[in-house]
Amino acid sequence: MCMTQAMLADKVGLTRQAITAYEAGRNFPGEHELNKLADVLCVSVDELMGRKHE
C-alpha cells in the first residue's frame, strides 16, 4: 500500500510535519497517536514499534 505522509497524517488527524518528525526520530508519538497509527496501518502497536513475538 502506497501512502504519502500527508495521506497518513490526514487519516490519523495529525500534521504531515508530525509524521515527518516521527519517521526521522525527532519526536515520538504518544499512546493515543500510536494506537491511531496502528489502526490506520492495520498492524499492532508492537509491530509498529518493531517488536517481534517468537
- Domain extent listing, the chain: 5-48
Report pLDDT digits (tens) over 6-36: 999 999 999 999 999 999 999 999 999 999 9
Query: Could you tell me which of 3, 45, 43, 7 has the C-alpha nearest to residue 28?
Result: 45
Report pLDDT digits (tens) over 34-53: 999 999 999 999 999 888 87
- And the C-alpha cell for 34? 500510536
Taking domain 5-48, whether its CATH number is 1.10.260.40 is answered by yes
DSSP string, 2-42: ---HHHHHHHHT--HHHHHHHHHTSS---HHHHHHHHHHHT
